[in-house]
Structure formats: C-alpha cells, structure tokens
A and B are shown apart, each in its own frame.
Chain A
Amino acid sequence: MTAAARPSAAALACPTENAVELAGVTYGYDRGPLVLRGIDMAIPRGKVVAIMGGSGCGKTTILRLIGGQLQPQAGRVLVAGQSVPDLDREELFAMRRRIGMLFQFGALFTDLTVFENIAFALREHTNLPDELVRDLVLMKLNAVGLRGTAQLRPAELSGGMARRVALARAIALDPMLVLYDEPFAGLDPISLGVVGQLIRELNDALGITSVVVTHDVYESLKIVDYLYFVSEGRIIAQGTPEEVQASSDPFVRQFVDGAPDGPVPFHYPAPAYADELAAHAR
C-alpha cells in the first residue's frame, strides 16, 4: 500500500464519514417538557463544529446524548457509526475510551495533582510502564503549554489553566472525538483566546473531531468550521461562520449581534403592563 492510499489514524479510529450523527432526536428530563424536539445533525470527521444557543436550550443535553450519559426518547444517535443508545455498558465504556470530554469548569479531580489527573485514564486503561506514562503526560501538558504545572494541585490553578489541563486530560488517550461543554465560560479574554486556539490546533494536529457547545459567538466564529443554532429544542439555523455572519435570519442576527429583544423576547410572558399597574385602582 502506498503512503497516499494508507488511511489516516483518524480514519481508522472513525471509519464513517460522519463522526457523529443525530437523526430526529427527542429528549425530555423525567416527566418534564421536551428539551429536544427532533434534532438532526451530522458532524463530519476532522471538523470543529459548534452547537450554539441560549442558556437552557438543550445544548448540553445534546452532548450528553452523544456521550451516552442520556438515552434519547426517540431518534438515532450514532458515534463512528455505532448507535449509542443500543450499546451495553461495556460497549459504551469501550466507545468512551475513544471520546474525550472537557467539562464546563474542567471537572479536574481535586485530590490528585495535575500530573495524576492526566495520567488517570492512561493508568486505568493501559498497562504502560511508569516512564512512558510520565512522558505521555508531559507531552500532553506541553501541548497545552502547562508542563511546568505538573506537580500543582487543581486548586492552585487559575480558571483558564484548569480548563487547559482538562483539555490535556481529554486528549490523554488520543481520542477520535472531543466534546467541549462551554469551554469559554468564565474565562478572561487571554485565556479565552488560548483555549479557542488550542481547540482548533489540537483538532487539526491530532486529526480528531470536535463538538463545541458554547454561547460565545465571537470566539466560535473564529475557530469552527460549522455552526448549529438551537432554540427551544430545535435546530433553527446552521451554516459556516461566513454564512452565519451574512445571515439575515432574525434569531441568528439577534444571537450574533447580542440584541436584547427579538425572536427571543426581553419580557417573560405576562399580562399587559398597564393592566397590572392599574389593577389596584379598579
């Protein structure tokens, strides 16, 4: 086989064209109202895709469905061609070994050092000798620029540093897919730029696929290949960053421009203001 014909590592890890596919996915927590109402989504291998929307619109629920933490009430969730809801626990854990996840505030293990946090998955799932684990951990830390923090505790890190360490931990097992849950939340502009850049660079350098759930429009438009906008459990707009910036869709415009009123109203539904104020006079 020639070098040109040889499949890449990413292609071997994810044999299908789309790393993630959602078709008609519906979900509601317990007996509450539906959070997702027929989500269709295709995330191609090797791309950085953002899922955007206001707070409580169901973005994180989509990530949880992809990671198998939740089961859809209807519809299909495929990761690398495998139907996630149909996997038993062992198969699900086998799939998760190929998925990295960055949680909103890092979710680093507070009783372990930075080094031990990143070595955690390597020690749990491989029998690599300590010297090799050490080198691998230092390589991952170096990739996020924090090799010097190896012996620190998570409590000694700033929010941005903790997020970068969590990113290093998410890629510890060289996953084919990385899920980012609000990676930019609560970061200062410098840390925000660093994390955004790392997401893009690691995605391209390691040949992985990235799904970024966020509401940070400015940073997302700089680093992603494609965006989905979710509102009230439905995908209401999608496109490349250029298409999104040129879009005249009212929701997209309100979201991108940060307008206080629009399809997402400023006022929560209530009786007429004048009627309520004059109520005591009647």
Chain B
Amino acid sequence: MLAEGVFDGLRRVGAGAINAVSRLGFAARFFAVVLIHSPAALKRTRLTLREIYFAGVLSLVIIMVSGLFVGMVLGLQGYDTLNKYGAGDSLGIFVGLSLVRELGPVVAGLLFASRAGSAITAEIGLMKTTEQLAAMEMMAVDPLARIVAPRFWGGVISMPLLAALFSMMGVFGAYLVGVRLIGVDSGAFWGNMRAAIGFWPDVTNGII
C-alpha cells in the first residue's frame, strides 16, 4: 500500500517534469521559429510599426499615469524615512536608483504584459477560433511570419521605451512631491541623482 503510494507520487513527479520539459522545448522551438521569420517580418516595416502602435503607443497612458503615481509615492515615503536620518537631500538618489534599476522596468513590464500581452493573446485566440489562422495557412502565408513575428518585435521595441518613460514619469512624480510639495532643495535632488546614476550601468542595464 505504502509502496504503491510512493510509486504513484514518483510517477506524478516524473510526469510533471516531462511535461515541464516538453513545454519548455515547445517554447524554445516557437521562439526559434519566430526568430527565423523575423528578418522577413522586419523588412515589412508597416506591419511592425502597426504593432508598435498597438502595443506601445496605446499603452502610453497606463504606463505614464502609473509611473507618475509610483514616483509620487516613492518621493513621499522616501523623504519621510530619509529625513529621519537627516538625509532628505538624498531623495533624488533613492528615487532615481530604485526607479531606473528595478521598479521602472519591472512595473512597466508587468503593466505591459497585462495590457498589451493580454490584448495580443485575445487577438490571436480569436483569430484561431474563427479559423483566420487556418485561412492564412491555406493562402500559403505563414501565420508565424505574418502575425507572430511583427507582434514579437513590436513588443521588443516598445518595452524598453515604455520602461524608460515609466522611470521618467516616476522621477517627475517624485520631483513634484519631494521638491515642489515638501521643499527638498531642487539642486540637491537633481545633482545627487545625476552623480549617482550612470547611463550605462543603471539606465541601459535596467532597460535591458
């Protein structure tokens, strides 16, 4: 009885592992095929530009508003804590580093996945159920080249720009609260931030 239960458990673990590897393999193959089709898709700039518009431009409002409010909260809470130790002037460093290195790319990525990602998933799902993808295949057009690759590159191009915009709006929000509302010195806010944040190690790495 006990042995049977143990074997069942092992079997389940094995099946789960095989399933996970199989899904990983499928994703890797899918990614490889998208990359193979990418040069042809990128050559047709109109398709990719359209996807940059849908994935990127239409996500601007949610990204910028969220960035502004995240920055404002960081400014308020950050100042509150830093000021206890007499380091209120370091608000620029605190806000800049946390936004540019971590919060900006991560939160922008989550927002992008929830807005643009779900929109793309719904769109392709609808195309699948209404046989539009099958119709495309029957017209000798590969849906991976015509549908998936432009959307992939639309996302790849939009995402870093959106992350940068999120961070920018966040810093602006922190400036509004910290400098304009609370009264942190403007020169200290910007000067400390510029001194502490490097373009390559922080901004570029964060975006990548």
Residue numbers of A with Cβ under 8 A of B are 67, 69, 93-94, 96-97, 99, 101, 103-105, 107-111, 120-121, 124-125
Contacts and interface: CB of A to CB of B under 8 A. Distances in A.
Contact of A94 (B131, B139, B140): B140
B121 interface: no
Interface in B4-22: none
Interface in B92-133: 123, 126-127, 130-132
A96 B135 contact: no
A124 B139 contact: yes
Nearest to B131: A107
B138 interface: yes
B141 interface: yes
11 contacts: A101-B138, A105-B130, A107-B132, A108-B132, A109-B127, A109-B135, A110-B126, A120-B141, A121-B140, A124-B140, A124-B141
Contact of B132 (A67, A94, A101, A110): A110
Given A103-B131, A104-B131, A108-B132, 10 more contacts: A97-B139, A99-B138, A101-B135, A101-B138, A107-B131, A110-B130, A120-B139, A121-B140, A121-B141, A124-B140
Interface residues of B, number: 16
Contacts of A99: 138
A103 B136 CA distance: 11
A107 B140 contact: no
Nearest to A89: B142
A103 B140 contact: no
A140 B131 CA distance: 22
Contact of A109 (B132, B134, B137, B140): B132
B67 to A, nearest CB: 30
A105 B141 contact: no
B151 to A, nearest CB: 12
Nearest to A102: B135
Interface in B176-201: none
A257 to B, nearest CB: 32
A210 to B, nearest CB: 15
A18 B131 CA distance: 28
A101 B127 CA distance: 16
Contacts of A108: 132
Contact of A97 (B131, B137, B140): B140
Most buried by A among B126, B127, B135: B135
A67 B138 contact: yes
Interface in B126-174: 126-127, 130-132, 134-142, 146
A104 B126 CA distance: 15
Contacts of B139: 96-97, 120-121, 124
Contacts of B146: 124
Contacts of B132: 107-110
A107 B139 CA distance: 12
A244 B184 CA distance: 92
Contacts of A97: 139-140
A125 B140 CA distance: 9
B134 A69 contact: yes
B39 to A, nearest CB: 16
B24 to A, nearest CB: 22
Nearest to B145: A124
Given A103-B131, A105-B131, A109-B132, A93 B140 contact: yes
A149 B141 CA distance: 25
A69 B139 CA distance: 12
B85 to A, nearest CB: 56
A36 B140 CA distance: 26
A108 B132 CA distance: 6
Nearest to B135: A107
A99 B137 CA distance: 11
A30 to B, nearest CB: 15
B130 A69 contact: no
Contact of A107 (B123, B130, B141, B142): B130
A96 B135 CA distance: 11
Contact of A96 (B126, B127, B131, B140): B140
Contacts of B131: 103-105, 107
Contacts of B123: 111
Contact of A69 (B126, B127, B138): B138
Contacts of A121: 139-141
A94 B136 CA distance: 14
A213 to B, nearest CB: 14
A111 to B, nearest CB: 8
A97 B142 CA distance: 12
